[in-house]
Amino acid sequence: MSAVFAEKIVGRYIKWDGDTWQVLATGAMRDDSLYLHLSSRTRYTPQRNGRNPIQIGDYVPVALIKETLERQGAAQGSPSRPDNLSIGSAPDRGGKHEY
């Protein structure tokens, strides 16, 4: 799999493990699967600085990734957002991270 293909999925939305996720980054290949850093679009954890999406890292089958790219029109070159999702902006932390 080429790096160009892996980068095409970044920023797109994928259905995985019973949830809708936004792909934040890609990683290594293993057994026809690509490691993806995913951010939930439906589940959040409340924190002092606002709602923060749950994030996971998992190996997702390349066939599912290709299907997602085809369905969302990868040839257009820009990530598309599913119509049934309401996505807010990330909280402004002013460059500070409090833990």
Domains along the chain with CATH numbers = 3-76 (2.30.30)
What is the residue-wise DSSP string for 14-83? EEETTEEEEEEEEEEEETTEEEEEEEEEEEEEEETTEEEEEEEEEEEEHHHHHHHHHHHTGGG-S----T
User: What pTM was estimated for this model as a whole?
Assistant: 0.69
Q: Is the dihedral of CA 36, 37, 38, 43 positive or negative?
A: positive
- 52 band by pLDDT with thresholds 50, 70 and 90: very high
Q: Residue 33, class by beta-carbon neighbours within 10 Å (0-12 exposed, 13-18 middle, 19+ buried)?
A: middle
Which of 7-11, 21-25, 33-37, 90-94 is predicted least confidently? 90-94
Whole-number percent of the chain with pLDDT over 70: 72
pLDDT band at 59 (very low <50, low <70, confident <90, very high): very high
pLDDT tens track for 9-28: 899 999 988 899 999 999 99
